[in-house]
Structures are given as C-alpha cells and as structure tokens.
Structure 1
Amino acid sequence: MIQRLWNDDKINASYPIHQSEFVNMRAKPQPKGAIPIWIGGHADVALKRASKVGDGWHGAFLSIAKTEELIQKLSNFKLRDNFVFSMRTSWDPLEDDQSQIASEITEYMRVGVTHFVPEPRQRTTEDYMNSVRILRDILGDCGVSFI
C-alpha cells in the first residue's frame, strides 16, 4: 500500500487487511526517486517479508554470529538489487571501549552488514551529539561511507 502511495497517482485499490479502499485517490506530489523500505524482524516470516517487499532488512542489537546466520538465510531468497543489511546497535563511545566498537563494526561488515544505525545511550543533547560525532569518526575509520 505504501509503495502504491509513493509511486502511483490515481489509485484504485482495495487493502482488506488495513480495511482501506482507494477510489481515484490522488497521491501527488510524489518523492523524487524511490523511498527504500527496510523490514525489521528476526523470525523467518519477517525475513521472507523483507525479501519479498523490502529494499533491505533491519536487525537490532544482535550478536555478530546471529546476524551472520540471518544474512545467510536472507541471501537464500531472491533479493532486490542493492538490498541493504542494516543493524541497530547500542554503541556509545563515551561509555564503551572505542577499539571494541571498531572491532565490532569490522566484524559486522565482514558478515555482510552494509548500514549501521547506532543508538548511543546518552541522555543530554550535548553528550548525545558528542557520542554521535565520535561514532562518525570510528565508522569512517572502519571504511563505512556516509550517504
């Protein structure tokens, strides 16, 4: 449904699961280019959904070994070109060992993670921003590119 709203203009469609019916719905203006859809979840059904309708898979707080296992499962499906494997982490360089963070980044990349979504644990704006700046440098030093 969301993909139709982003891509089509005069929409006639029924979505019983969402109890929605669109009749001559106008959805302009539309975005310039596709908006990527990342599907999260670790269950087989979520992985199948990600491979079927997603542009990427988003894992959260998983070990490197579990991430590798799930990426291997996903790789058995037919995936879209440039399919993204992302990981949300709780890295916080103001509290965690920065060399350990760098090591984990390298290992996640080795098993196929292409994007990172760090979630520092700082609670003040200043500390949070400092943590993000340090993470940017660590990620960059590990070869992560920023878009």
Structure 2
Amino acid sequence: MGLAKLNQLYREVVLDHSQHPHHKGKLPEANGELELRNPTCGDVISVQVQINDNKIEKLYFEGSGCTISQASASMMTTALTGQPVEHARELITDFSNLIMGKEISEEAEDELGDAAVIGTVAEFPTRIKCAALSWHALDELLEKKEAEKNG
C-alpha cells in the first residue's frame, strides 16, 4: 500500500474511533478501574474492566483528550474485550512495541485490528504518550488485579 493511501487509512480509522468511540462510558459492573493522566497534552483516561474467570468480559473507558488518545482507547477496548488476561497483556506489549517503531508478528498485528494502524504514531514521538495512555492504564490495572489475586 502506498504511503498516501496508508496515511489516508490512518486518518479515517483514527477519526472514526475518535468521533464514534467503542465502549466509552461508565461500566457499572466493573471490578477494576484505574485513571491515568498525560500532563504533556492534558489527556485523562479512566479504564474500567470486568474480569471473570481470568478473562476480560467487558472493557470501557471514560475521559477526555486529544483525538489520538481517544481513538487509541476505543481501539484498545475493541481489541482486548473477550481476551484472557495473560493474552491481553501480551497484546499490550505488542502495541507498545509497535508504537515505539519495533516490528511485531503479523498475527499480533491482526489481533490488534484497528489499533495496529495507529502504530505509525512512532513517527511522531510527542504523540506516543497519547496513543499509549489507555493501554498503560489497563496494563497497570491488570498487574494490580493479579497482585491482589496472588495475595
């Protein structure tokens, strides 16, 4: 795919997720929640999760911020809902690697879905924190939940 078409696809996917976010709102039956802020650009994201039998049953977010942070959070909820916690954490690592400009497997790219498109943010270092905010929040939350479970 040519660079111009890739840039157009990126813009369309990011704008669609930003304007019509998936799983945005309060998750009343959440059994875990964590809020993170990006002081650089003012993004605030609260990630709420319902985990049952070590699987992410539901994943929502609330907050405000730039187009990239909102779109990335929407993409994350779509990609990780229904995933076993351990696999979700692997995909979070894959996403982090992708936005840092590192190669990931084709399989991981497929599983990330629309979130893989946002990987081009690696070309804009000041936007990496925006794209990563919700993913970092979920990773911290899952780590916290694992620590609570293990006592």
Common fold by TM > 0.5:
no
User: Larger relative CO (CA 8 A, sep 6+): 1 or 2?
Assistant: 2
Question: By percentage of residues, which structure has more helix?
Answer: 2
TM-score normalised by the chain length of structure 1: 0.26
